[in-house]
Structure 1
Amino acid sequence: MKAFVVVCLSSLLAFSAFAHDGHDDGGDATTTSPHKGDHTGEFCTDASQTICAHLHFLADVNTSTEGSFVAHIETPDNQPINNFKIDMWMQMGSHGHGSAPFEVADNGQNHYTITNAWFVMPGTWTVRIDFDFNGVHQHIEIPVTAAQ
């Protein structure tokens, strides 16, 4: 009987390991994706709390339709940035998954409209923003959760 219980528990444990999709859901299965009109909080560079960014979503975030959002970089006195680059990354255990290249429109005043943003898998994606400000390279990461 003891062997039967051990086999059942081992099988259950093995099955549960394969049942998880391997993506980070932030530990909360009820996490929802941003909706059209939502904003993220402010995320700042490691070097300065006066150089920050946030996202404003132009479409619902999900795994089946194109995402679009505006990235707004805030600098002291709204000074302009240079060399803006953006991508998305999802870490999945020991490897990661990137996104297809975005289409980026510079709207001026450090606002950039991002289209062709595909959150192809559910979980937490990192929107990585790189730019130069006053000749110094800056990097900001903003987490975005994509539910199914």
Structure 2
Amino acid sequence: MKVLIALVLTSLLAVTAMAHEGHDHGNNPPQSPRAGDKTALICNTDKSICTQLQFLVDINSSAEGAFFATIKTPDNKAINNLKVDLWMSMGNHGGHGSAPVEIAETGHNQVKVSNAWFVMPGTWSVRLEFDLEGIHQHFEVPVYVAE
């Protein structure tokens, strides 16, 4: 009886861990972004400010990542003091960040982010913080890394 209970608990923990890591129990497990892929548009509550990433290389946990980050603002107003970092929430254990990324302006409200290391599989957040007309803005774009 104890063996059966232990087996059931082990199975439940394995299923819970897979669900937590973003595994799809169907035939289409999540994939890492590939060069050219874009994320969904992430917007504030009134949809007046949005951001989107476009990947320049295939993303994985063993190579340097690079992407464009574009921020759309009302009337195409300029942003200031942009900061970008990578963050992985680890539940009750806090989180895990990545080394500082390199940011190069490539256009109006667009930057190229390199030296972006997603050092382990799972769901990461690309966090963008900036000021727009003196108001601090914070966005988090989810990026799933499969391998």
Question: TM over 0.5: same fold?
Answer: yes
Q: Which has the larger radius of gyration?
A: 1
Q: Which residue of 1 aligns with 2:22?
A: 26
Offset at 1:76?
1.4
Q: State the AA in 2 paired with 1:71.
A: A
Alignment equivalent of 1:88, drawn from 72, 86, 89: 86
1:40 aligns with 2:36: no
**1:56 is matched with which residue?**
54
How far apart are the structure 1 equivalents of 2:100 and 2:64? 12
Q: Distance in 2 between matches of 1:24 and 1:68?
A: 26
Aligned to 1:67: 65
- Any stretches of 5+ residues in structure 1 without a counterpart? none
Q: Which amino acid aligns with 1:75?
A: T
The CA deviation at 1:16 is 6.4
How far apart are 1:107 and its partner, in Å?
1.5
Identity %: 48
- SS of structure 1 residue aligned to 2:115: strand
Kindly provide the CA deviation profile for residues 12-46 of structure 1, in whole angstroms up to 9, marking residues without a partner as x. 53476379878943242611011000001110124
- In the aligned structure 2, how far is the partner of 1:126 from the partner of 1:31? 15
Which whole-Å CA distance do the structure 2 matches of 1:132 and 1:22 have between them? 38
Distance 1:133 1:104 in 2: 18
- In structure 2, what residue type is equivalent to 1:41? A
CA RMSD of aligned residues (A): 2.2
Number of residue pairs aligned between Structure 1 and Structure 2: 143
Structure 2-normalised TM-score?
A: 0.86
